[in-house]
């Protein structure tokens, strides 16, 4: 795998999630995430690897069409920070692959905390030495989840069985929602999350 700038899954410099494994288990249970969901996504990992770039590009096209979303990628002069955008894109593509291949262990949980912090003033721009606004407001992180969960048009290119297609779509949606919930933690006070 070609190195991805700023992608440092498992690195000791990453954030450490304050959540326990039991906290994670409770979130998974609340979402209805199952071992079967993890196995199903892993079984289709090759498909996700093949289509990850197209998926990410389609989601980023939604951002590009909406100035209130695009502004989080702009430099102080109002122009897009193309280097920052390229680096974020590479990590976003890798996130798609990680979402279907990585076990939900301590390293994974810590990296979700890291991703969350990279959307807040705590770490936004620090990974890439960017000069974009220091916060992606939580409301947009949450509101964007339906855009990322809607992948049926991609799945239909490789899964012809309607039952399997629906199962993969549902497993992906649960996975995305779990990620977004975990990314929201750095936005809140410990006692309120």
Q: DSSP per residue over 14-46, as a string?
A: S------HHHHHHHHHHHT--HHHHHHHHHTHH
First to last CA, the chain: 36
The pLDDT assigned to 1 comes to 66
The pLDDT of residue 162 is 97
Q: What was the pLDDT predicted at 128?
A: 92
pLDDT by 10s per residue, the chain, length 193:
688 999 999 999 999 999 999 999 999 999 999 999 999 999 999 999 999 999 999 999 999 999 999 999 999 999 999 999 999 999 999 999 999 999 999 999 999 999 999 999 999 999 999 999 999 999 999 999 999 999 999 999 999 999 999 999 999 999 999 999 999 999 998 788 8
**What is the model's pLDDT at position 193?**
86
Fold of 33-187: Globin-like (1.10.490)
Specify whether the CB–CB gap between 152 and 162 falls below 8 A: no
In whole angstroms, give the CA distance from residue 110 to residue 106.
6
What does the pLDDT look like over 126-168, one tens digit per residue? 999 999 999 999 999 999 999 999 999 999 999 999 999 999 9
pLDDT of residue 31: 97
């Amino acid at each position: 795998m070609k190195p991805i700038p700023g992608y440092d899954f498992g690195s000791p410099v990453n954030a450490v999630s304050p959540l326990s494994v039991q906290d994670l288990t409770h979130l998974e249970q609340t979402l209805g995430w199952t071992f079967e969901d993890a196995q199903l996504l892993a079984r289709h990992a090759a498909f996700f690897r093949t289509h990850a770039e197209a998926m990410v590009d389609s989601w980023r096209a939604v951002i590009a069409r909406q100035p209130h979303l695009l502004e989080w990628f702009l430099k102080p002069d109002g122009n897009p920070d193309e280097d920052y955008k390229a680096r974020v894109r590479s990590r976003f593509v890798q996130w798609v692959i990680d979402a279907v291949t990585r076990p939900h262990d301590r390293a994974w949980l810590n990296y979700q905390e890291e991703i969350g912090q990279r959307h807040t003033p705590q770490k936004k721009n620090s990974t890439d030495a960017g000069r974009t606004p220091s916060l992606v407001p939580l409301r947009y992180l949450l509101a964007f989840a339906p855009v990322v969960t809607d992948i049926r048009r991609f799945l239909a290119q490789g899964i012809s069985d309607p039952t399997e297609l629906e199962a993969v779509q549902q497993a992906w949606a649960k996975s995305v929602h779990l990620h977004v919930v975990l990314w929201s933690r750095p936005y809140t006070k410990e006692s309120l999350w």
